[in-house]
């Protein structure tokens, strides 16, 4: 089933909207995604130092190349995503402020920003460690080709496929220090990989009509909200055992992580039939954003006491 759409002309610029070039740039690179990914990259880097008994003060240069390089490839990939999706973004209300939609950035400018940031980021990761750079390449290829260009407009599994790229930042951070990528590194990857489907399914429920207008086959658009909600509960349940594999961070962390996960599950189940679908999805989405932030911050904090 092909959900691709024809190109549409960009709307004229609105002179009443006053934004700086810097603000437009931050929109193009999706600064929110960059910032959240920096947290998970740093967590992977920090825990790798901790588990390998290496002092942070002796690896500040490595931290610089890893974090900035990771930020650049994520920003570059998001810019390329904006460039590729410039034909369907005008059909979605939530994308109306993107410079590629308003016409404030020429598509070629966005393409060059994406290519430049991605290439620079890869060189910086290569300066950190070749494994970090290779993992970065996997993330880029998954997000740009397998998600944006291939699955997003064709299959409801697009969210799961895209989750691979969203889960690689802690692997990049870990690989820069320890290229062998121990079990703990892959647990960080799995936590982010499993977290993303319920997070984005909730958002897809809230924006179902937008995706339908753009002919993007998100799960609630094709199979409805009921199946999507059940899928979210299943994915959240799969998160429950993962913190136990990080027992080296201490029992306090395991308890906090378990409370966060079970709390998310209980909220989803207890309110499943009580609230309208949109309100339920909004609560689940907000919880998911706070969940991943609190979880990864608690990992860092827990490492000081073990």
Coil, strand or helix: which one is 12?
coil
- Please say if the pLDDT value at position 5 is more than 60: no
Is residue 232 in a domain? Answer: yes
- Please say if the pLDDT value at position 7 is more than 90: no
Q: Which long-range contacts (CB under 8 A, 24 or more apart) does 234-242 make?
A: 235/194, 235/195, 235/197, 235/198, 235/201, 236/198, 236/261, 236/264, 236/265, 236/268, 237/265, 238/194, 239/191, 239/194, 239/195, 239/264, 240/265, 242/187, 242/190, 242/191, 242/194
Is residue 13 in a domain? Answer: no
Residue 299 has what pLDDT? 98
Residue 17 has what pLDDT? 54
- Please say if the pLDDT value at position 109 is more than 70: yes
CATH number of the domain enclosing 87: 1.10.600
Average pLDDT over residues 104-122: 97
> pLDDT band at residue 116, thresholds of 50, 70 and 90?
very high
Is residue 9 in a domain? Answer: no
The angle, 0 to 180 degrees and rounded to 10, between the axes of the packed helices 169-177 and 158-167 is 30
- Please say if the pLDDT value at position 18 is more than 80: no
Is residue 224 in a domain? Answer: yes
Cβ(94)–Cβ(218) below 8 Å:
no
Place of tokens 């753009």: 214
Is residue 2 in a domain? Answer: no
d(CA 48, CA 88): 40
Average pLDDT of the chain, as a whole number: 93
What does the pLDDT look like over 20-76, one tens digit per residue? 999 999 999 999 999 999 999 999 999 999 999 999 999 999 999 999 999 999 999
Reference 234, options 260, 200, 268, 259; nearest CA is 268
Average pLDDT over residues 116-140: 98
Is residue 1 in a domain? Answer: no
- Please say if the pLDDT value at position 3 is more than 80: no
What does the pLDDT look like over 223-238, one tens digit per residue? 999 999 999 999 999 9
Cβ(288)–Cβ(195) below 8 Å:
yes
Is residue 296 in a domain? Answer: yes
Is residue 51 in a domain? Answer: yes
Count: domains in the chain: 1
Cβ(10)–Cβ(100) below 8 Å:
yes
Task: Quote the domain boundaries for residue 154.
Answer: 21-303
What does the pLDDT look like over 141-179, one tens digit per residue? 999 999 999 999 999 999 999 999 999 999 999 999 999
């Amino acid at each position: 089933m092909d959900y691709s759409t024809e190109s549409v002309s960009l709307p004229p610029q609105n002179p009443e909207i006053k934004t700086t070039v810097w603000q437009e740039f931050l929109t193009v690179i999706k600064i929110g995604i960059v910032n959240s990914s920096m947290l998970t990259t740093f967590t992977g880097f920090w825990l790798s130092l901790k588990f390998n008994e290496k002092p942070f003060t002796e690896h500040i240069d490595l931290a610089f190349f890893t974090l900035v390089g990771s930020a650049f490839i994520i920003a570059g990939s998001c810019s390329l995503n904006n460039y590729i999706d410039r034909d369907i973004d005008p059909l979605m209300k939530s994308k109306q402020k993107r410079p590629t939609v308003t016409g404030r950035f020429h598509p070629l400018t966005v393409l060059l920003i994406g290519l430049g940031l991605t290439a620079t980021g890869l060189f910086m990761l290569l300066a950190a460690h070749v494994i970090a750079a290779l993992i970065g390449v996997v993330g880029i290829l998954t997000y740009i080709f397998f998600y944006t260009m291939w699955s997003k407009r064709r299959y409801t599994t697009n969210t799961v496929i895209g989750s691979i790229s969203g889960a690689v930042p802690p692997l990049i951070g870990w690989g820069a220090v320890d290229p062998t990528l121990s079990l703990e590194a892959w647990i960080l990857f799995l936590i982010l990989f499993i977290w993303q489907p319920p997070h984005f399914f909730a958002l897809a429920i809230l924006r179902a009509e937008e995706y339908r207008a753009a002919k993007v086959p998100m799960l609630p658009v094709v199979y409805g909200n009921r199946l999507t909600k059940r899928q979210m509960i299943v994915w959240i349940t799969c998160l429950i055992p993962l913190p136990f594999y990080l027992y080296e961070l201490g029992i306090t962390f395991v308890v906090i992580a378990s409370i966060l996960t079970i709390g998310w599950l209980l909220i989803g189940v207890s309110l499943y039939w009580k609230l309208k679908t949109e309100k339920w999805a909004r609560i689940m989405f907000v919880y998911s954003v706070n969940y991943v932030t609190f979880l990864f911050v608690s990992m860092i904090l827990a490492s000081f006491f073990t």
